Amino acid sequence: MTTLAPYMFALLLLLPACTGHVFPSERCRVSARIESGTVCGVERIADGDVKYASFRGVPYAKQPLGELRFKELEPADKWDYYYATDEGPVCYQHDVVYGRLMRPQGMSESCIHANIHVPMEALPEQHPDVTLPGLPILVFIHGGGFGFGSGDADLHGPEYLVSKKVIVITFNYRLNVFGFLSMNTTAIPGNAGLRDQVTLLRWVQRNAKAFGGDPREVTLAGQSAGAAAAHLLSLSPAAEGLFRRAILMSGTATSSFFSSSPAYAQHIKNIYLQFLGITSTDIEDIQRQLIELPAERLNDANTKLIDQMGLVTFGPTVESPLPGVTTIIDDDPEALLSKGRGKNIPLIVGYTNSECETFRNRFEAFDLITKIASHNFLVVPPKLLFTTPPESWSNLVSRMLGRYSDGRMNMDGFVKSCTEGFYEYPALKLVQKRAELDGAPVFLYQFTFESPTSIIKEVTGLSYAGAAHIEDLTYVFKANSVLEGREGAPQSLEDLRMKNFMTDLFVQFMSCSKPICDDKRSLWPENNGDQIEVIEAPGVLRTNSRSMRQLEVVDFFDNLPSRVNVV
């Protein structure tokens, strides 16, 4: 016992260098050799008993701790062997929407991790003497209002897609105050979360071949705030050449559920500093406190902020050029679109017909209707409040109330205004603008499928007509957090057929930049600014022109700011 003690002590001394993830090579049966070292994953089973290699919780950069809290990410430290079988902690957040859909394994600032899922036969380490053609890669940006969520397999299970011979990459990026607080300085420039996403895309370019992927065939996709981020990156020179096409699910760079105005960034920063108890007026002193305070203090203040604001607090903002800082958003997204930015990137743009039903519980818990009665400007999309003079707000309110209520807003009216204003209008307007630019093809869908066993209805406990926010996502990624807990058959036959249909559309778009590669009958034609493909049942595409209601929606929001002074 005593003779073994020194050796046991020496072994214990070695463990900190291997904390949680680094193990000897003999433990590494599924591996990939990337720029940081050998990463060790595990073999898992996808749909149809397809085997895939899963590398979870892989650092794609150095963790942003201490002085790096708000800075652009630095390269990851090197390692010999990194054991990546489990997802890391989620980034600091206060979740007000996902609930049961998320099963986080703790929260931390050390959250900069990617999850890479590869069909087993495509992994180069499985065929050391053979060079195989690289597979298409889907990089997916999770949603959550820029303030919460993660790339974990609880909601973003790769099993559906990876079984169809594509590589799936999800990841975490800094959120809320950590990811989007802007002081407009080199120390805290803002848009850190977007810079994380660019860092991840660059990492994918450098390491794609190690996982059997083709770096020339990267498709960027996202849902909700993740879709808005993906679209913003398509407009940014910082991401040029890092992906070939994009899929936007319920979000665009011009969505009005957030404001990219620097005035908004200043406003939300000031409110946040009050919650944090920082009263200094010296910018260097403020920055020092923000960098030195414990992360838990920052997150607690963010919790109070989101509980006051409702859903969205910090978000992307238009930047001023700063030395040593990669600029992501160099102008208002509307202006960038008008200039033709991103017009050569093929797009799928989608939304559901009952988007904001998913948020009804949150709106009720927030007591939104009572708050609107006291502060009626809350009926106006946030984006407009920071691009319209305050003296015009009363007219904006009158027009919104005139369309969505009888003068006093109720919950049904607000949910409808949220669906049309935050999601439907931006999608319709984006495809209209892209058609005018004569660039790469754009394909628009409206998802209306009413599942007999809807995951979102199960989680929210609500009953509503149509499909709500996140609902289409559950047929592209496997919501393991819900499906694993269901008794009996986890999905109906209709659900399984819709899953196959939606994933086929994704995989084909990843291959040929069209949702249906061999589309000789024009089942889904390129959008001319007027067409909408309605997905109402598995395998069914109904090509519609814009309805009278949709034309009214576009006209209303097009002219809402310009008519406020003549109401």
Structure tokens at 511: 């291959």
Where on the phi/psi map is residue 49: left (φ > 0), alpha (ψ -120 to 50), or beta? left
CA distance 284 to 275: 19
First to last CA, the chain: 89
DSSP one-letter code for 107: B
Choice among 224, 234, 256, 260 that is catalytic? 224
Helix-helix angle 425-437:548-559, to 10 degrees: 90
Closest CA relative to residue 195, chosen from 233, 247, 231 = 233
CA distance 320 to 331: 9
Choice among 21, 142, 231, 469 that is catalytic? 469
Q: Which long-range contacts (CB under 8 A, 24 or more apart) does 450-459 make?
A: 451/492, 451/494, 451/495, 451/498, 452/492, 452/494, 452/495, 453/491, 453/492, 453/495, 455/101, 455/479, 455/482, 455/483, 456/357, 456/358, 458/482, 459/99, 459/100, 459/101
Question: 3-state DSSP helix/strand/coil percent for the chain, to nearest 5?
Answer: 40, 15, 40
Amino acid making up residue 372: I
Say which residue the tokens 């200094």 belong to: 280
CA distance 560 to 402: 12
Is 469 a catalytic site residue? yes
CA distance 299 to 315: 15
Choice among 87, 217, 319, 355 that is catalytic? 355
Is 224 a catalytic site residue? yes
Catalytic residues: 224, 355, 469
